[in-house]
Amino acid sequence: MSSSVRAVFFSPTRTTKTITETVANALSAPLEAARATVDLTLPGQRPADVVCEADDVLVFGFPVYAGRVPVLLREQFAHLSGQDTPAVVVGLYGNRDFDDALLEAADQLAERGFTVIAAGAFIGEHSLTARVGTNRPDDADIATAREFGRELGARLAAGEALAAPAIKGNRPCKELKPGPDVRPLTTDDCTSCGICVARCPLGIIHEDDPFLVDAGCLHCCACVKGCPENAKHFSSESTDMVITMLETKCQERREAELFW
Domain-located, residue 253? no
* CATH number assigned to the domain comprising residue 217: 3.30.70
Q: What's the average model confidence in pLDDT over 211-239?
A: 96
Q: What is the pLDDT of residue 163?
A: 87
Asked if 164 and 216 sit in the same domain, the reply is no
CATH code for the domain of 69: 3.40.50.360
**In terms of domains, do 212 and 157 share one?**
no
pTM as predicted: 0.96
Are both 208 and 133 inside the same structural domain?
no
In whole angstroms, what is the distance from residue 190 CA to residue 148 CA? 41
How many Å apart are CA 44 and CA 104, to the nearest integer?
Answer: 26
Contacts of 106 (CB under 8 A, 6+ apart): 87, 89, 116, 119, 167
The pLDDT assigned to 1 comes to 52
Pair 144, 239 in one domain: no
| Residue ranges making up the domain that contains 137 | 4-172
- Looking at the fold, whether 10 and 73 belong to one and the same domain comes out as yes
Residue-wise pLDDT for 181-200, tens only, equals 999 999 999 999 999 999 99
Alpha carbons within 13 angstroms on the beta-carbon side of residue 183 total: 16
- Is residue 2 pLDDT above 70, yes or no? no
In a domain, 260, yes or no: no
pLDDT band at 168 (very low <50, low <70, confident <90, very high): very high
Contacts of 88 (CB under 8 A, 6+ apart): 23, 27, 57, 58, 59, 60, 116, 117, 118, 119, 120, 149, 152
Q: Would residue 254 count as lying in a domain? A: no
157 and 109 part of one domain: yes
Same domain, 137 and 229: no
> Does residue 117 sit within a domain?
yes
Tally of domains within the chain: 2
pLDDT of 156 higher than 80? yes
Query: Rounded to whole angstroms, how far apart are CA atoms 89 and 82?
Result: 14
Asked if residue 137 and residue 97 are part of one domain, the reply reads: yes
Dihedrals φ, ψ of 139, to 5°?
Answer: -60, -40
Residue 208 lies in a domain: yes
Average pLDDT, the chain: 96
Does residue 177 sit within a domain? no
Condensed to tens digits (0 to 9), the pLDDT of residues 121-145 reads: 999 999 999 999 999 999 999 999 9
150 and 69 co-located in one domain: yes
CA pair distance 78, 135, nearest whole angstrom: 33
In a domain, 50, yes or no: yes
Domain identity same for 79 and 140: yes
Task: Report yes or no on 250 lying in a domain.
Answer: no
For 224-248, what is the mean pLDDT?
Answer: 95
- State whether 25 and 118 are in the same domain: yes
What local confidence, expressed as pLDDT, does residue 174 receive? 86
Quick one: 152 and 225 in the same domain?
no
